[in-house]
Amino acid sequence: MEKQISPSGSRQYLINIQKWRSIVGLIACSITFGVSLFSMASNLIYYSVQKWELADFFRYFTTLSNMLTTLSAGFIIPYAIDGIRKKRFVFPHWLSMMHYSGTIATTLTFVFAVVFILPFDPEFAIGQNNLYFHVVCPIAILISFEFVESGRLFSRKDSLICLIPFVSYSLLYLVMVVFIDEAHGGWEDLYMLNTFVPAYVSLPLVWILAYLVAFLIRKSFNHFLTKRREKMLSTWDPALEPVEINIEIYGLGRYYGRICDKADSSIPYDVIETVAEYYSLDPETLLKVYIKGLMDGLTKG
């Protein structure tokens, strides 16, 4: 009996990859959370030392983008810790979208600082703490984002939704810089939106650039996720018959049931869906087989 429920190579790999996802997610999000929090804290201290208005600190998109990234990474960390315990790393779709949006935003701060601001105002672009704020932090966040596997591919629609924070800020910036202007209590045109060409020309170009950045991040993330899925599927023999696949899925469920507490049991629907697509099978049938195995593992051991 013990031989029948010991994990096969594919089952063992699936268990290990879930632990690996959780550990990588914990490390990557801890790095993101740490560098974002440190960059904001150090700049707040700098503002205090210079006796500048702290309210001005929160009008910069760099600050707001780092706040978004800090929150999203901080929210993911408990899911990663839970994933290590449960052998299953999952977090809500809204949180993965928030993480994607924050990564787009911080990457845009890097692009604007290095490409558009550095040639004209090096001090504002990378001087003092801005080197960390505009360059080091966005690069660290972008790299860590690529390694946090949500199990979901991002779509074009997701990219558009995740650009909402940036588009909203750009419209606010347009109002404060162009329609109100600095002389009447608005903002200084720090991002040079209306400096060299009219805002009605530069703003659409900025939106196109933002979508390009979102597109590249999405393509990169989806590429790595697809490669990781292909590696997972490589542990499954393409010649397996449906009955053999059912036995493997049942064994996976039973093995999960044996190693997890009842309160920690979960259903790896993304894995089941991927296997179903690979073998052209009904995912609902495999799901029922998995649940049967999970229940047997929980009750019979």
**Strand residue runs (E) in the chain:** none
**277-291: pLDDT as tens digits:** 888 989 899 999 988
Q: Is 60 exposed, middle or buried (0-12, 13-18, 19+ CB in 10 A)?
A: middle
Residue 301 confidence (pLDDT) = 59
Residue 165 confidence (pLDDT) = 94
Whole-model pTM: value is: 0.82
**Residue 9 pLDDT greater than 70, yes or no:** no
**193-250: pLDDT as tens digits:** 888 888 889 999 999 999 999 999 999 999 998 888 887 777 777 888 888 888 888 8
Percent of the chain whose pLDDT exceeds 90: 31
**Residue 264 pLDDT greater than 90, yes or no:** no
